[in-house]
Amino acid sequence: MSEVEELIVKLQQNAQLSSRGRAIERDCFITDKSGKERKIQSWKFNEWDYGKNNITLPCNARGLFISADGIGQPRIMARGYDKFFNIDEVAKTHWDWIKDNTQGPYEVSVKANGCIIFISGLEDGTLAVCSKHSIGHRDDVDRNHAEAGEKSLLDQLAKIGMDPTTLALDLFSQNITAVAEYCDDSFEEHILEYVGERSGLYLHGVNMNTSAFHTWPLSKVNELANRYNFKKVECLTFDSIEELQNLFNECSKTGVYHGVEIEGFVIRSHLQQDDKASFFFKYKLEEPYLMYRQWREVTKDYINTKSRVFKFKKHKFITNKYLDFVIPLLDNDATLCENYLKGFGIIKLRNLFLKSYGMTGFEILNSEKINELENKNAIDYEKVDENTKFLIFPISVIGCGKTTTAITLKNLYPESWAHVQNDDVHGKDKSQLMKRSLGQLSKAGVKCVFVDRNNHQFKERQQLFQWLNDLKEDFLPYNQNIKVIGVSFAPYDKMDKIKTVTVKRVLERGDNHQTIKLQKYGEQKIVGIMSGFWRRYQPVVKDKSPDNLFDLLIELPYNEVNSSLINTKIILENLHREYPILVPEIPDENAIKSSFDLSLEHKIPIKPGSSTPNTKEKKNKPAKKDPLLKPKKLKPVYFSANVSVDLVKSAIDTLIMQNLGKIAEEGNQYLTSLFAEDKFQKAFHVTLSHRAQSSSNSGDERGKRNWERYTKHYEPIIKMSESTNNSQENTALPIRTGDIVSMRLSKLIWDDKIVTIIVDLLENTDNSIAVRSAEREVINGLNCTNLIPHITIGILQDGVKAYYSNELCNKIASGGNTSGCFELNFVDSKVFDAEVYINL
């Protein structure tokens, strides 16, 4: 078995893993010179799996493409660098470790600020240009980095009259991958500016296409760059660590190298052991890069929420000045906002501010006057004193003991700590969790609130920070300093153990929970709910938003026995060390143990008016009124065009069978789970008009008019049903109208939450949809209120509402990225009829 075949076997084995070290494969396709479609497998791992001592990956390449078209032996077609880290990001990038374990020469190159591109070739001279994990055309993205990189490559070769086949055959014969950074603001803006002659492909590496990492020295890389008209990265060589540190210290003072703002440096060295293997690490300059990135993020936040951010980690004064300048521009230019969110105009807007302020970024950072104003006028959010308050956000999955830990802490500090549980929040306003937490925090004497929710995904943690930003001043003074502490209860490398232990705990807990009750759901349903959390779990990533927003992050180990007691002690030790104003001294063992024992006795209170789980009698229940005394008034909830379930299921099944190779592994998993786990909706329909859209609070005048037309047109049928169908049991059944709507299936779209089909509704001459009577006569004036008519096919994620389909459809329409989107061309644009129903 060859080296590559052994690698493929290991990758396929890791693809079967459920969490740590899981390999993810995506089938890609390119066309060779003979017109034959060639299959390429792209392999990747979760970002948080790299660099972990207790996780062994088959290959540490970040970007790995293997030919899998059956032509000859399988081979690595393109390979990225092994994942490398910033100084102090992991144990092996601490300066002491680097000094003790690496050797020079240290080759240092300027880090380009764009998107990575891998360039390789096939045996027939076909160029293969890849982005980090993709090659060839894609229907599921609005911006294809691989295609853009290929266009730029062909342009640069044409300028020197070079045949692309020459480059492809050169790369193929040497079995190498050219690694470049595509920097071009006309395609995609990042933080640093690349326009005109500065834009293009910067060649910064050449890797051997082998499982183990082998890369060329920069001198040979530059020879290849010269031959094929690539832009070169600036580079220099040092013999000692001390020389490296001197360079970095000098550049950190200015944020520039040779007069140009840069993101940082990449350093290539060799290990003293392991056959002198290549060892990469990087050094990122904090400024002005971080200041510019902060301006970009607060601009995006404002565009999305129309809510101004006031709390910043750094650069408080100048960032507020920046917002003072840009907010009026954003409020008066919708196109500017739209382009900004797509990644265009970021640098132009920043430069407009700098020009109006009369200073460069470097001058701002080094201005004594601005530094003085920062200290004088900005609220010091870093200050911690007796007025500081604290919020604790857990990161967990069901059954990890976060609530027991929270109650233990509350028992230790009954007067100054509070505990708010998400499971006690009911109704549509989910922000009640933060409102209740801030309400508790605003009370005299309360110093800390444990905001009890799993927060197992990035978006949930982001949501908490957004709510805090939006709601804080409704409860607390504007200058009140709040420290947010993250506590991770579920270490990613212990997930297999966590699954076993938490299932046992939750089943033993029985009905002592607000929502997950054993008697109601049974073991199978409960384990299914828990597995959804495991599948969606996104562990802490310290340098990624929102996890980089925590003022303190406590990562707990996982213990099967007394984990909550142990976790309580660890939390107290961390808080005492970092915030002694909150925990002046650690309580003694007896006090902690007593509080823990008391927490184990905690019972979920029974809601007033409800019976206990074991009570089956119905107490003093009033007698039912006779439904025949007065006809019950029927109130429509929505009007729909109901579609054949068999027709739609057959269409999806055909799509999957005909396009298996083109659907990404993850997307394929979502679709096949529809059938395997029967996650289909019980019935399929297109919503034509909904009562919620008619509300005066919705602000949807079109929806309101449409609802009035439907209710007026179908009023006779509704009244007839009132007079002829008074049975209490039957009044909730949909009412058939006999009218029909003609449509065709257009696109199947999906992500990890929901699967939906976009439909095309046939229109009348007045642009209303083609609602016809049973006699095929056109009924004018009725329309579909949803701008994108669709059928919700199946809900993949617990808690997601069918209404989310609207959001997904709008994302597709605006060119946004989602897990999958396929045209339903195989239906041959067949038009079919769907009957209109009145749903009560």
Active-site residues, by number, are 111
Q: Which two tokens stand for residue 675?
A: 């059938």
Contacts of 372 (CB under 8 A, 6+ apart): none
Taking the C-alpha atoms of 498, 499, 500 and 504 in order, what is their torsion angle to the nearest 10 degrees?
Answer: 100
State residue 739 phi and psi, 5-degree precision.
Answer: -80, 160
How far apart CA 821 and CA 762 sit, in angstroms, is: 22
**Residue indicated by tokens 């169908």:** 725
State residue 389 phi and psi, 5-degree precision.
Answer: -120, 165
Contacts of 486 (CB under 8 A, 6+ apart): 392, 393, 394, 395, 461, 540, 547, 550, 552, 553, 554
State residue 338 phi and psi, 5-degree precision.
Answer: -60, -45
The DSSP 8-state label assigned to residue 165 in this structure reads: H
Name the strand (E) or helix (H) holding 282.
strand 278-284
How far apart CA 288 and CA 392 sit, in angstroms, is: 31
DSSP for 24-78, written as a single string: EEEEEEEE-TTS-EEEEEEEEE-GGGTT-TT---S--BSSEEEE-SSSSS--EEE
- CA nearest 244: which of 282, 270, 206? 282
Contact criterion met (CB below 8 Å) for 241 and 98: yes
How far apart CA 457 and CA 463 sit, in angstroms, is: 10
Name the strand (E) or helix (H) holding 666.
helix 665-676
State residue 270 phi and psi, 5-degree precision.
Answer: -135, 145
Q: Give me Rg for the CA atoms of the chain.
A: 31
Contacts of 144 (CB under 8 A, 6+ apart): 131, 134, 137, 138
Distance (Å) of CA 757 to CA 174, 223, 602, 685, 688: 47, 52, 47, 10, 15
Q: Which two tokens stand for residue 550?
A: 């925590």
Please provide the distance, in angstroms rounded to a whole number, between the alpha carbons at the two ends of the chain: 65
Contact criterion met (CB below 8 Å) for 748 and 684: no
Contact criterion met (CB below 8 Å) for 102 and 279: yes
Alpha helices in 192-315 (DSSP H): 218-227, 241-254, 289-305
How far apart CA 159 and CA 168 sit, in angstroms, is: 17
Other C-beta atoms within 10 Å of 765: how many?
A: 8
Q: Which two tokens stand for residue 64?
A: 């790995």
